[in-house]
């Protein structure tokens, strides 16, 4: 990889829409507990609740509401349990108990950390809870801080899931509509140099919609679905068939007239009424246009059949299941758990030697940085250091002018909103917001030490510790995963090639969806591996070429299946 390309990958810059709703939730979730504490005089519990809200904001995503509830629920439970364990270890007065609690939490976090998003988040927050519990002595009964922390996470959960009351399936609807929009863009790009990339964007949108809709496609969810769910499921299955048809049309490499490129949105308008702008009076609808689409082109003929088929209300739809994720094996999980525990222990001993009590920042930074399943470890460490430096500079500047209590709470709200934006935009921005908020909250807990330079040094030390441990003991972890993912994706593409010509529609769609899902996962794994510094004298294989060839194979097989037509399936 060239130095310029590697630097861009390390920067991780990518434009995304500004999440104003999430920013508002972050501001309210962090300011409200502090306001309650000021009004009631319960400052310490309110600050602990704000820490819980801070961690909740870090896990507040744009997923379907039930997924948010599960992730935030486990975040609250695991962090509260970790805080309780760390607090009890600290109150015992035994330094060995504190170190043992940290190591035990790190082993648990590492063991479950590579088993999926929710398990990873739960393990990380268990460890974070322990680091706070062992590093910050909190007065009052032992049960009060864990409950306060849990209350802060529950507040974020309520704010995040509240829109479910009036727009219950908004996320699912948006994901399905994105498939139709990207399909129209792919048709518009047919016959141009951008056609393959446009088809890939459509596939990614379809993969996302499949993941979002997965819970509604399960057999138990189809027994008595609501009318809105039935509408969404029907629109999704039509989107799956549309993806197959659009792939065939893009493979034909012939420019298409506007009347055809607008068909996906008109289909969406029929299947999801009120969600897309109505066509102009002089523009024919998909229903009127369907007969004209039946030409000598197999792709156009299939598009006409699809338009006509959406008029059948009782048409049977295949059950499409997401492919099983290939989680790292036991050896990888054990190695990660041991490395994480070792890093946490060394960080704790360094903190004790350098700072004595309240030396939680070093092990807390290790818990945040050493998450290889969240992206390249080097990039995460780099962004953590940059975010900490900027956050320290920002809060140091603001603290000069922020004198009153309510002004301080306003500062927390602003940085909480920035953190919520950073969670979706850039890890360095999220770290900046988190760093500034933590400085204010720790000051409210009574730690008035000037720790600006100390925290920057601690962050650099913890990041260096993680990088040395990871790249000395486990330097090829990302490369091995990228290789395994690529091989699995290529095998899925070949399986689709071998079985699809003789398969029925249900099996064919399942094979195609599985192949494209695994190809997208392989691309992400390869990007992860490219984001890590390469070992001297060793170049990584051309995985991108193999993935692109497998994608073209799937496209060709799809075009051939569409060309055969429905007669084969009868």
Q: Which residues have C-beta within 8 Å of that of residue 172, sequence separation ≥ 6?
A: 64, 209, 212, 213, 216, 232
Supply the mean pLDDT for the chain: 85
Q: What is the pLDDT of residue 81?
A: 97
Q: pLDDT tens digits, residue range 158-216?
A: 999 988 888 888 899 999 999 999 999 999 999 889 999 999 999 999 999 998 988 77
How far apart CA 423 and CA 41 sit, in angstroms, is 32
Residue ranges, the chain, pLDDT below 70: 1-17, 218-225, 275-296, 309-319, 357, 535-537, 565-570
How far apart CA 102 and CA 85 sit, in angstroms, is 9
How far apart CA 100 and CA 95 sit, in angstroms, is 9
How far apart CA 359 and CA 353 sit, in angstroms, is 9
Q: pLDDT tens digits, residue range 88-100?
A: 999 998 889 999 9
Q: What is the pLDDT of residue 54?
A: 95
How far apart CA 304 and CA 132 sit, in angstroms, is 61
Q: What is the pLDDT of residue 296?
A: 63
Q: Which two three-digit tokens encode residue 507?
A: 């099996």
pTM of the model: 0.88
Percent with pLDDT over 70 in the chain: 88
Q: What is the pLDDT of residue 286?
A: 44
Q: Residue 209, Cα to own-chain centre: how many angstroms?
A: 14
DSSP secondary structure string for all residues of 344-367: HHHHHHHHHHHT-TT--HHHHHHH
242 within 8 A of 306, measured Cβ to Cβ: yes
Q: How far apart, in Å, are the Cα atoms of 52 and each of 45, 47, 91, 148, 495?
A: 11, 9, 21, 8, 47
Q: What is the pLDDT of residue 187?
A: 92
Q: Which residues have C-beta within 8 Å of that of residue 109, sequence separation ≥ 6?
A: 123, 124, 126, 127, 337, 340, 367
């Amino acid at each position: 990889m060239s130095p310029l390309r590697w630097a861009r990958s390390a920067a991780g810059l990518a434009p995304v829409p500004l999440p104003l709703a999430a920013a508002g939730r972050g501001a309210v979730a962090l300011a409200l507990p502090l306001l309650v504490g000021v009004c009631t005089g319960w400052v310490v519990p309110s600050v602990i609740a704000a820490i819980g809200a801070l961690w909740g904001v870090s896990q507040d995503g744009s997923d379907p509401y039930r997924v948010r509830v599960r992730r935030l629920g486990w975040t609250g439970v695991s962090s509260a349990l970790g805080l309780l364990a760390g607090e009890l270890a600290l109150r015992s007065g035994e330094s060995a108990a504190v170190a043992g609690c940290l190591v035990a939490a790190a082993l648990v976090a590492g063991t479950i950390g590579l088993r999926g998003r929710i398990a990873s988040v739960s393990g990380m927050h268990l460890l974070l809870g322990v680091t706070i519990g062992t590093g910050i002595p909190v007065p009052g009964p032992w049960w009060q801080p864990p409950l306060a922390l849990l209350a802060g996470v529950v507040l974020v959960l309520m704010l995040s899931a509240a829109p479910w009351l009036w727009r219950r399936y908004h996320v699912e609807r948006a994901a399905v509509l994105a498939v139709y929009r990207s399909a129209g863009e792919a048709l518009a790009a047919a016959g141009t140099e951008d056609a393959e990339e446009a088809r890939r964007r459509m596939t990614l949108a379809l993969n996302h919609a499949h993941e979002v809709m997965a819970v509604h496609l399960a057999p138990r969810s189809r027994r008595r679905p609501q009318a809105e769910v039935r509408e969404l499921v029907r629109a999704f299955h039509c989107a799956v068939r549309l993806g197959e048809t659009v792939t065939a049309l893009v493979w034909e490499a012939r420019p298409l007239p506007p009347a055809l490129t607008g068909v996906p949105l008109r289909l969406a308008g029929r299947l999801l009424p009120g969600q897309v702008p109505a066509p102009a009076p002089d523009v024919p609808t998909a229903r009127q246009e369907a007969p004209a689409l039946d030409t000598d082109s197999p792709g156009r003929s299939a598009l006409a059949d699809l338009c006509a088929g959406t008029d059948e209300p009782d048409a049977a739809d295949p059950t499409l299941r997401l492919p099983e994720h290939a989680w790292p094996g036991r050896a990888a999980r054990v190695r990660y758990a041991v490395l994480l525990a070792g890093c946490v222990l060394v960080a704790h001993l360094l903190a004790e030697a350098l700072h004595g009590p309240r030396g939680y920042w070093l092990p807390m930074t290790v818990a945040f940085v050493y998450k290889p399943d969240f992206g390249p470890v080097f990039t995460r460490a780099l962004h953590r250091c940059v975010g900490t430096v900027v956050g320290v500079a920002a809060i140091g500047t603001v603290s000069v002018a922020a004198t009153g209590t309510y002004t301080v709470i306003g500062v927390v709200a602003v940085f909480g909103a920035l953190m919520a934006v950073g969670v979706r935009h850039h890890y360095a921005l999220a770290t900046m917001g988190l760093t500034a908020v933590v400085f204010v909250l720790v000051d409210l807990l009574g730690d008035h030490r000037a720790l600006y330079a100390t925290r920057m040094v601690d962050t650099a030390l913890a990041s260096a510790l993680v990088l040395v441990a990871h790249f000395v003991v486990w330097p090829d972890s990302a490369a091995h995963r990228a290789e395994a993912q690529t091989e699995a994706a290529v095998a899925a593409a070949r399986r689709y090639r071998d079985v699809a010509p003789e398969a029925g529609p249900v099996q064919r769609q399942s094979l195609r969806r599985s192949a494209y899902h695994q190809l997208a996962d392989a691309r992400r794994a390869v990007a992860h591996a490219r984001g890590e510094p390469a070992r001297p004298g060793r170049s990584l294989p051309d995985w991108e070429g193999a993935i692109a060839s497998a994608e073209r194979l799937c496209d060709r097989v799809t075009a051939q299946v569409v060309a055969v037509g429905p007669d084969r399936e009868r």
